[in-house]
Structure formats: structure tokens, C-alpha cells
Amino acid sequence: MNPYTLTLLRHGEIDHQGRLIGHLDLPLTELGARQMASSWRRINGLAPVTALATSPLLRCREFAVRQALTSAVLLKVDERFSEMDFGDWDGSDLERLGQTHPSWRAQLADGSLNPPGGESFDEFRTRTLSGFSEWISGARGSHRVLVTHGGVITALLAELLGITFSSAQLMTVQRGGFAQLSMLEGHPAYLMHLEAPCAD
């Protein structure tokens, strides 16, 4: 496989109101849309996008579809790039969830999280990596962009950089920001850029 650049673009701001947002399908706010547009200009300035994939959730998909149509780039929409399904916890107030389940963040970090009615961390990681492997094997060109969620980005960074999920969490990609890696078969990925959105 020829070397390529991989950009992991996180969706912009949403009206989450302090809630845990996993599979809830919320649109971008006006700020979120500006953040995404700003990061997209920056990403294209670094290298023209040749392949594009996205989560099907509204906060990622609407933006990705517009860019694919504007740029005439092939787009893959894949549910495996959705955020983790937190089941009964989806939409929960984060402060209240921390009181009733104080160890949930630690369990997420160490890979033992299994929320009621949702998917376990292992299930989330497996389907994310499966979707990524399939997309990359069929994608073409030197700059491939995935529009997705914070959890998916963290899982991919952990796998590609050969670090733990908890370590990858320290490299926070803010909403509307992106991480960019240099990919060469047979070599570890190299982190080139970790950028916050420029829009305010």
C-alpha cells in the first residue's frame, strides 16, 4: 500500500446541554457548522482530499455529504463509524451519571465499560476497527478523511499509534478539530497535526 495521509475530523459543536451523547442524532449548531467549515479549509490547504468517509449520524453526515458533492470526492457512509452506543445512558445528564455510576469514565478508559442496553467497549472497538480496515483497503489517493466522533477518533489513535485508549484520551481532539497522521505500511503511524477549530 502506498503511503497516505489520514485525517480524523471530529464533528463540531452540538446542543448537548451537559448530556452524554452517543447514538442520539443531534445536528450541528451554527458554531459547529462554522468550526467544521474552518477545519475543512485547513485540511484541504494541507493536501487535497482524495477519499472521504463518515458516520451516518446527522452531526457528521450532513457536512460530509456537502463536501463530497462540492469536491466530487467519493463518500463512504458507514454505521461502524458511529459513536459508542451507551444504551440506557444515552442522553443522561453527565453530572448525575457521575454520581450514580462514579466509575464509568475509568471503565471506559481501561476498556471494561459495558453500559446497560448498549454496547461494550470491546464491541465498540471491534466494529470501529473493522469499518476502518474495510474503508482503507478500498480507498484511493494520498489524503483520506474520516468525519466522525470523539470516541471513534480516540479508539483509532490508540490502535494506529500503538498506545492505550487512556493514553489516546490525553490527545483530545476538540469538537470541530482534527488529528492528522502519516501512514506507511509496515511502520507505525506518525502524528503530524493535532488542531483545534479556528472558528469561534
For residue range 89-121, list pLDDT tens digits in order.
999 999 999 999 999 999 999 999 999 999 999
Residue 118 carries which DSSP code? S
Domains in the chain (CATH in brackets) are 4-195 (3.40.50.1240)
Please compute the mean of the pLDDT values over residues 144-149 and round it to a whole number.
98
Torsion of the alpha carbons at 105, 92, 12 and 113, rounded to the nearest 10? 30
For residue range 17-41, list pLDDT tens digits in order.
999 999 999 999 999 999 999 999 9
CA 87 to chain centre: 19
Say if residues 8 and 157 touch (Cβ distance below 8 Å). yes
For the chain, give the mean pLDDT: 95
Q: Helix crossing, 121-138 with 150-161: angle to 10°?
A: 70
Please compute the mean of the pLDDT values over residues 190-197 and round it to a whole number.
94
For residue range 59-92, list pLDDT tens digits in order.
999 999 999 999 999 999 999 999 999 999 999 9
Q: pLDDT tier at 199 (50, 70, 90 boundaries)?
A: low
pLDDT at 68: 96
Q: pLDDT tier at 145 (50, 70, 90 boundaries)?
A: very high
Say if residues 199 and 34 touch (Cβ distance below 8 Å). yes
pLDDT at 185: 82
The grid coordinates listed for 45 are 490547504
Whole-structure pTM value: 0.96
- pLDDT greater than 90 at residue 187: no
pLDDT above 70: percentage of residues in the chain: 98
Q: Is 161 exposed, middle or buried (0-12, 13-18, 19+ CB in 10 A)?
A: middle
- pLDDT greater than 80 at residue 200: no
Please compute the mean of the pLDDT values over residues 137-163 and round it to a whole number.
96
CA distance 42 to 76: 22
